[in-house]
Amino acid sequence: NAGVTQTPKFQVLKTGQSMTLQCAQDMNHEYMSWYRQDPGMGLRLIHYSVGAGITDQGEVPNGYNVSRSTTEDFPLRLLSAAPSQTSVYFCASSYRSRELGTEAFFGQGTRLTVV
Amino acid sequence: SQQGEEDPQALSIQEGENATMNCSYKTSINNLQWYRQNSGRGLVHLILIRSNEREKHSGRLRVTLDTSKKSSSLLITASRAADTASYFCAQVPTGANNLFFGTGTRLTVIP
């Protein structure tokens, strides 16, 4: 049971380069999201999706794009990397349940450095 | 920002002691959750408490919720060195599915 899988684990980019962070889950969760974690800032929500074909912006969406063509995959694209995007990125998934509330499952993170 | 805040930012205790972490948030919530993060790893869910609950237990964990004060606390009893980690509270605002995280408490348990 893989859970939430993120690739790559580490990445170094030059300013202006683009790349895609991959996230896949095998739990048939409707809800998926991307966070970035910076020292002293906790986790901040970048984008999220409540199902295939549906995405929306979180707290800090600028400079990032997402798509959700399947239930399993939720890639995060950096369009033109900037040093301010140096961070650790986490993907999470959960069942979609407003009334009951459910736990989120996290990937192991991608540590991105932009030079 | 919808981020909550946690207090203290860092906590250092001896093995066997209890650890208490506090969390404050800004909006009405559906539920509040606590997560643990070991250094360099992903977050792991510990416990969820709904807005109509006031206290919840899970093993050595005890969580309280005071919606009138928009605050929660996490108590870890009889701490162990293996409890050393960062602990985050996260809220699901009313009518939303998103989790909004606090800034975390770094707990160090000294053997």
Cα separation, B19 vs B24, in Å, equals 17
pLDDT reported for residue A108: 96
CA angle A33, B72, B22 (to 5 degrees): 95
Nearest-10 Cα torsion for A66, A69, A71, A77: -20
How much is the CA Rg of chain B, to the nearest whole Å? 13
User: Which positions in chain A have a beta carbon within 8 angstroms of at least one beta carbon in chain B?
Assistant: 4, 31, 33, 35, 40-45, 48, 50, 58-59, 90, 92, 94, 96-99, 101-109
B3 lies within 8 A of chain A by CB: yes
Q: What percent of chain B has pLDDT over 70?
A: 97
In B, which residues are within 8 Å of A105 by CB distance? Answer: 45
pLDDT at B44 over 90: yes
Task: Count Cβ atoms below 10 Å from residue A22 Cβ, excluding itself.
Answer: 15
pLDDT (0 to 100) of residue B2: 59
Three-state DSSP at B103 gives coil
**CB-based contact, B25 to chain A, within 8 Å:** no
Task: Name the DSSP letter for residue A73.
Answer: B
- The pLDDT mean for chain A works out to 93
Residues 66-105 of B with CB under 8 A from A: 88, 90, 92, 95-104
Q: Which residue has the tokens 């998934």?
A: A93
CA atoms of B103 and B11, how far apart (whole Å): 14
